[in-house]
Amino acid sequence: MKFLLPLMIAMLAPCAAAAEGFPADRIVAAATGDWNRDGNTDLALIARPADGSDEDNGVFIYLANPSESRLELKVSAPNKIWGNLTMFGQEPAVAALANGSIKLTSQNSSVGRDRWSQSLTLAYRSGRFVVAGYTYSSYDTLDNDNTRECDLNVLTGKGTANGKPITTAGAQITLEDWNDETGQRACGFASQ
């Protein structure tokens, strides 16, 4: 993993400072991978909003353009993923998966009685980044019977919620169009 750090720094410097108007010091997390399976290294970033903003963190995905030796912004999704760096257990994260997908994670594992974790798996399909998977779990620190778990394949609409099979309409929803309530409704955790 140490060999990736210089690569990530080199990739971040030219593109991150100007991307969507956010300076490089607002980058919260980054991951590299080959998202479109063309043999070139691509980049996914989580960037915090401007100081004083009440928005959530943004997600920005870049694809390599080897003919121009640069990264091109493919996805700009501001106000997309909850989390902050001022409180341990609330940090958002991005990771490259072995199959070329991107995993975005948000959580609250430290404050209040309602603790939760949520992951979105993004896949590159037909020239777009779509939410392929949604995973959610929560528990109440004062009520051991108040727990929820859901793992949903958004593309097929099949999954499990609280240990029982669920089926909903499969869909290709882009990251830009995704709303967490869509996943909560599919899992039966939000009102229809």
pLDDT digits (tens, 9 = 90+) for 100-153: 999 999 999 888 888 999 999 999 999 999 999 999 999 989 988 889 999 999
Any domain includes 191: yes
58-105 pLDDT, tens digit per residue, is: 999 999 998 888 999 999 999 999 998 777 888 999 999 999 999 999
Query: Within a 13 Å sphere around the CA of 1, how many CA atoms are in the beta-carbon half?
Result: 4
Do 50 and 122 lie in one domain? The reply is no
Tokens of 15: 């593109």
Calpha distance 36→43 (Å, rounded): 11
Domain housing 30: 1-81
What's residue 21's pLDDT?
61
Tokens of 53: 């903003």
Any domain includes 27: yes
What's residue 191's pLDDT?
60
What's residue 13's pLDDT?
45
Do 137 and 67 lie in one domain? The reply is no
Do 75 and 120 lie in one domain? The reply is no
Please tell me the total count of domains within the chain. 2
What's residue 20's pLDDT?
54
Give the C-alpha distances (Å, rounded to integers) separating 44 from 12, 64, 161.
Answer: 10, 11, 29
Domain boundary residue among 40, 66, 81? 81
What's residue 14's pLDDT?
45
Any domain includes 9: yes
Per the CB < 8 A criterion, the answer to whether 107 and 119 are in contact is no
Tokens of 36: 């479109």
Any domain includes 15: yes
What's residue 4's pLDDT?
42
Which residue is listed with tokens 């392929």? 132
